[in-house]
Structure 1
């Protein structure tokens, strides 16, 4: 089966399911045809038995009437009528004998003997005057009795055949019902099996693509199933290796360029500092202003370079955690105190809610996470506003919520807000734009702790939630 393609397996599943339903339909049609033929045969036999029973009774009555007329009138025509009626009655009796398997042969023989005895009387000449009437009367009385018996046996035979037909109908109904149920169950089993065989590789491909999207390049991608899905799995694994190589090249480039820029940047900053200190001579007001601009921009450039180095370091450090027992409430207070000058400068109020909660985490990395969230909240909050931290834990999960009163995250930025170097459309007016790595570092460190960070919808402001397993 692994040599077949996805389309071939799908076609095979369709053919098998359609074949089962077609075979069931054909069997049902054949069964209905057999039952219809059986019904037709039973009806035809019932008509034959009824007609021949009536014919036998009518011909016997005609024989009796002809015999009595002959004995009174002595006209040979009536004897010939008797013979003709006798021949027709014998034919009806033969048909009944063939159509009724349980017909008693002695009844037919006795009927024939009684008809023969009456015939002998009709041919006896003058002797019939003396004892012929009695013989004929006895013969026809017995023949009438035999006719009644034959009629009853015919009705019994018709009823028996109708009962047999009903029994066969019920048996075929049960058999057909079992066949339909079996076909439906078999088709369902086949559909389930093929669905499982075909959907499992698709689920693996979906998970592999999700891992590639999350930059988890350390797991080899193996996809089983049909030949084309296995080939697709091999191509995805090649893509994983290629992306991992490109990501490693990107990190090496960032580290190299950052370190290479630090040396000339340090010389620039030192030169600007010497100018400001008037080591090379006294500066005019215009020159001092230019030196101040140079100092400000070299400091900004140094900050950008250090942020690049910090992001590369964070991506590496996320794989090496130093766990220890940490009180999250105390850690929150420490982080808020460390940035007291920044939030006090904007006249913000920092509100921390919740009880003490101890987790086994990497204290430094979690402090970096909280510091980045607080720094963003301070940067985007309006002056005189407030930032609220809420600490809670339930259902095996610790939650840290950070809620501010800023402009919030635009809907079009929600899906990409945690990507490195991505900057949203809502920026603080008049402030230097960030480099877009703060939240990406938050996601890296929280994912390393088997947790997750979420951006929750909020009418105004931003609401970030960190979830860590207890």
Structure 2
């Protein structure tokens, strides 16, 4: 197969398609697209998990600091009460053990005070200084010999009386600091939530956009393949098939182009075969026709009635066989010629008038009326082939219309196309014939009485030429008469 492909490119003289898509196959590109989208979504998810983990750690740390602040404030208050109690007992009992308890409680209180000072950067610094001054003054009195003096003792009690308000202020500052940290944590959480929301929404939108772009990017070669196969199905072998895309799609396009050339060669061989067969058959058929005519004319001698009937039957059948061969050749030429159209802007109404005038003798002989409804309309078609299409529709309508009947051609516009409709008052198409009416050499059941049966290629020629113009022709169901509709692209 690969040798045949290389041979094809050698015959056409065209280079192989450009190596696009990084030389990857369709499946590899599809896998890469899925991996890219999965990596995008996975990266966003992992980032969200890390962010949530970090925020959880911050929340735990904030809670721990809040507990630590509360504990320090409570411990400071407790140690202050213990200092005051130990000091009072020492002043009354003068027992050194109480002094040692005072010193121990003071050290523990100072430690709690230091923790609060470090943890409350927003608190006024003077409250910590005042607390230390009052405690130092009380300790100095307790260490002096004048501690028995009532005035000195009163001074100690005053110093201790000033400590609870300071402890309460520090407790308030601790609560404010906890609230500030909680608010900061809440703001950070809200900010991270909004950021994560934007990231997730952005990742989803980007994933959808990537999926759409990849789908569009990868579907284009498939659309070209579908279009190429459709052209092959319509027997259009004159256009080179060049499908660009992944490596395996390009190879498939090359194989289709090789198939196109093979089909074109086979079509040409079929045409040559039909021409040769026609040439070989025409000579003996002409001899048979001539011999049957001579026998029927009595040139070889007088014939009896039975012999004359046999000669007449022989003559009719040879003429019929000759007509059928000529019809076959004519349809083959039409099929081949439909691949070569030369579209130009044409006034469709003027073309219809010309076709009707060309067949004026036929429809006047049957006392028919032919009219055109609709305004002038310019379409881009091959005027010669479109005249054959309209002429075949008119001759078909004339053949089946009753004497004195009416034939109408309707011109109209629909979005993106132009319609041409032919309506007659004949017997119409039998329901069993509707699906096969455009097949070559097919003749329906409703034949006009007394008329010679047609060759069955008129409507098939209509379909061939309309399809060559990228249009459509079909039979519209109708009671009483036939209704054919042609739709042509409106190329403005």
TM-score, scaled to structure 2:
0.81
- SS class of match (1:2): helix
The answer for unaligned runs of 5 or more in structure 1 is none
Q: Does 1:389 align with 2:413?
A: no
Tell me which of 149, 159, 178 is aligned to 2:169. 149
The CA RMSD measured in Å over matched residues stands at: 3.6
- SS class of match (2:371): strand
Pair 1:169–1:299, CA change in 2 (3 A): same
Deviates more, 1:95-104 or 1:296-305: 95-104
Tell me which of 244, 256, 272 is aligned to 2:264. 244
Deviates more, 1:254-263 or 1:426-435: 426-435
Where does residue 329 of structure 1 map in the other structure?
353
CA–CA separation in structure 2 for the residues paired with 1:362 and 1:237 = 27
Q: Deviations over 1:366-419 (max 9, x none)?
A: 5543443345446667x77956332425578462424454352658864x6545
Tell me which of 183, 187, 193 is aligned to 2:207. 187
Tell me which of 31, 39, 52 is aligned to 1:11. 31
CA–CA separation in structure 1 for the residues paired with 2:200 and 2:208 = 12
CA–CA separation in structure 1 for the residues paired with 2:48 and 2:378 = 69
Where does residue 201 of structure 1 map in the other structure?
221
- SS class of match (1:443): helix
Where does residue 291 of structure 2 map in the other structure?
271
Deviates more, 1:460-469 or 1:61-70: 460-469
Aligned partners of 2:221 and 2:249 also within 8 Å:
yes
Q: Does 1:440 align with 2:464?
A: no
CA–CA separation in structure 2 for the residues paired with 1:56 and 1:165 = 27
Where does residue 254 of structure 1 map in the other structure?
274
Q: Using the TM superposition, give the Cα deviation of residue 467 of structure 1 relative to its aligned residue in structure 2, in angstroms.
A: 4.8
Where does residue 210 of structure 1 map in the other structure?
230
Q: Using the TM superposition, give the Cα deviation of residue 150 of structure 1 relative to its aligned residue in structure 2, in angstroms.
A: 1.9
Where does residue 9 of structure 2 map in the other structure?
none
CA–CA separation in structure 1 for the residues paired with 2:377 and 2:220 = 41
Q: Using the TM superposition, give the Cα deviation of residue 13 of structure 1 relative to its aligned residue in structure 2, in angstroms.
A: 0.5
CA–CA separation in structure 1 for the residues paired with 2:343 and 2:130 = 116
CA–CA separation in structure 1 for the residues paired with 2:382 and 2:96 = 134
Q: Using the TM superposition, give the Cα deviation of residue 39 of structure 1 relative to its aligned residue in structure 2, in angstroms.
A: 1.2
Where does residue 231 of structure 1 map in the other structure?
251
Deviates more, 1:316-325 or 1:3-12: 316-325
Pair 1:364–1:145, CA change in 2 (3 A): closer
CA–CA separation in structure 2 for the residues paired with 1:263 and 1:357 = 49
Q: Does 1:35 align with 2:59?
A: no
Pair 1:151–1:412, CA change in 2 (3 A): farther
- SS class of match (1:466): strand
Pair 1:145–1:214, CA change in 2 (3 A): same
Q: Using the TM superposition, give the Cα deviation of residue 73 of structure 1 relative to its aligned residue in structure 2, in angstroms.
A: 4.8
CA–CA separation in structure 1 for the residues paired with 2:378 and 2:139 = 123
Pair 1:212–1:39, CA change in 2 (3 A): same
Q: Using the TM superposition, give the Cα deviation of residue 53 of structure 1 relative to its aligned residue in structure 2, in angstroms.
A: 0.8
Where does residue 406 of structure 1 map in the other structure?
427
Q: Using the TM superposition, give the Cα deviation of residue 123 of structure 1 relative to its aligned residue in structure 2, in angstroms.
A: 4.3
CA–CA separation in structure 2 for the residues paired with 1:397 and 1:16 = 46
Q: Does 1:280 align with 2:300?
A: yes
Aligned partners of 2:374 and 2:412 also within 8 Å:
no
Pair 1:162–1:169, CA change in 2 (3 A): same
Aligned partners of 1:60 and 1:86 also within 8 Å:
yes
Matched length: 461
Q: Deviations over 1:332-355 (max 9, x none)?
A: 2542532666xx5xxx96553437
TM-score, scaled to structure 1:
0.84
CA–CA separation in structure 2 for the residues paired with 1:425 and 1:261 = 29
Where does residue 457 of structure 1 map in the other structure?
476
- SS class of match (1:454): strand
Where does residue 316 of structure 2 map in the other structure?
296
Q: Using the TM superposition, give the Cα deviation of residue 124 of structure 1 relative to its aligned residue in structure 2, in angstroms.
A: 4.0
